[in-house]
A and B are shown apart, each in its own frame.
Chain A
């Protein structure tokens, strides 16, 4: 009896965790399962919480209502381009703020951080006008390029640098004969991998899930990204839910893969032993 009582905290913790896990995972499983049913099955009562046999039909339907693989590729290329360039330029910019002292540095940094407080919705119309002015409406360029050096990324990386890279390390690299870029590339970058991974995941998810941006910028269906394409077919009367669920599920797969790939980097503490510990 007493041992049971001693285990109550453990059991209740596990119960909480399991509950949390179910709440988190259920929508994914639901979407995956619904992707295998026809529309009428989905609307039946009780809902068909099992694997159905309409997967192929749904897939054909999906290809019928949108150029799915084209759209997936659009999403993927925008997200990858945006993520890679953001990781590179944000960290480069953060390195500038971290390693150099220049007149007005704190003011510039302050303005940049303050700009994060502007609600994104407010910038939609200026964003549209700018994109239009630049003549890049209906291009993918307009979607990944503007976010390349963003305040959040620079802020995140710089804050990580200040806690994980000592000044002496930069000085040591200078004495070793590194050029400023070489210091960034060979000494700073390897030490901020966790921050870069975090930024990459945030950027990738943001770009992948971006709906408002594509909605404003893109007009030709062959340039649509997943969010836009999946939304556009829902407006049809008699929405083919099975096909949409399948498309939604497929659109989640790259994100899951990306997370599986980067999460180790996020957790790893790479700076242990930089200075006397």
Chain B
């Protein structure tokens, strides 16, 4: 186990700068998720941490010592790849034991360690199979076994679940979480799926265009997003951004028929045209029709437990979660209440 620290890290590929002056501290035993859209540099950062890429400038520290010039093995990290990257010519057991064989461990001891890892991951009956004879989830577990067996200082996961189908993904997510609570190894987990990050991580690092947008616990990011990007990225369904007008007194006008008074005047936004950020779950539909925000239902998406209702409010369209499964049809007018203290106000997006 180890702490990992990144100091002023930058990375350029030729003229293209992909990571801008990153700073991050990962505590011992912590599970940190790096999240962001494709091309935000999260995988590059992970590869730099692994020692597979070199940083253009900046330092990487593990347990306080600089590891910039160490190769992946010397850093004692283990990595799980998106494609699993199992050696196709070796059996599952040989795959798991390969790094022990490289380090010159005795055969009997390798077998013992492999068995131990296989026990944890429920892989015992599959050790003699080749990767081509394993299902996606089993391959993923073998890849994790390969990481686990060497007892590394840190695990690096590079989108390990994105090749699995939805059901298996949830199951493997659970397994990774269970595994982490069991072994408590420092883990850094790259994903583009914010739900995966929210459910797994102690802390989430949100990246965009090679810059860290915000670092915080899942609930922090959800309740106090640092900027519009984070607000829109975290949460599912995503936050609604509705064009509105803010007066100096704190009144927020979404449309002629939808005006609300904010409990506090937002500090960092000037009055005038703004975007109101409201999460779908902070709307409630008022069946009596007296609520302050009036809109028109465009469509209804039932998900079973709840309905996602698309509502036109002024010039914008909002998604509203309806937990009561009200009998609403498209085209109907609807009145909405909103949790006023949860509304975020952002400067309008430049188009």
Contact = CB atoms under 8 A, between A and B. Distances in A.
Contacts of B99: 175-177
A164 to B, nearest CB: 9
Interface string B132-145: 11101001000000
A271 B90 CA distance: 11
B134 A273 contact: yes
A273 B85 contact: no
Interface residues of A, number: 24
Nearest to A271: B88
Nearest to A171: B52
A273 B131 contact: yes
B163 to A, nearest CB: 5
B77 A276 contact: no
Nearest to B163: A276
A275 interface: yes
Contact of A174 (B71, B83, B86, B98): B71
Given A171-B79, A276-B83, A276-B163, A177 B72 contact: yes
B50 A276 contact: no
B102 A276 contact: no
Interface in B177-195: none
A101 to B, nearest CB: 11
Interface in A41-62: none
A187 B87 contact: yes
A270 interface: yes
Interface string B240-259: 00000000000000000000
Interface in A163-191: 166, 168-169, 171-178, 182, 186-187, 190-191
A115 B304 CA distance: 66
Contact of B52 (A169, A174, A182): A174
Contacts, number: 81
Given A172-B79, A276-B84, A177 B89 contact: no
B132 A171 contact: no
B81 interface: yes
Given A175-B72, A176-B73, A276-B163, A168 B88 contact: no
Given A177-B99, A273-B131, A166 B85 contact: yes
Contacts of A134: none
Given A168-B82, A272-B132, A277-B132, A175 B89 contact: no
A175 B102 contact: no
Contacts of B285: none
A274 interface: yes
Contacts of B77: 175
Interface in B65-119: 71-73, 77-79, 81-89, 98-99, 102-103
B146 interface: yes
Contacts of A175: 50-52, 72-73, 77-79, 99
Contacts of A178: 102
A171 B85 contact: yes
Nearest to B99: A176
Nearest to B134: A273
Interface string A15-46: 00000000000000000000000000000000
A178 B78 CA distance: 13
Contacts of B136: 276
B146 to A, nearest CB: 7
Nearest to A189: B89
Contacts of B83: 166, 168, 275-276
A82 to B, nearest CB: 27
A273 B87 CA distance: 9
Contacts of B130: 273
Given A171-B79, A190-B89, A176 B98 contact: yes
29 contacts: A166-B83, A168-B82, A168-B85, A169-B87, A171-B47, A171-B79, A171-B81, A172-B81, A172-B85, A172-B86, A173-B87, A174-B73, A175-B72, A175-B79, A176-B146, A177-B73, A177-B102, A186-B98, A191-B89, A272-B132, A273-B133, A273-B134, A273-B139, A274-B85, A274-B87, A275-B84, A276-B83, A276-B139, A277-B132
Interface of B: 47, 50-52, 71-73, 77-79, 81-89, 98-99, 102-103, 130-134, 136, 139, 146, 163
Complex A-B, nearest 3 residue pairs according to Cβ-Cβ distance, in ascending order: A273-B132, A177-B73, A168-B85
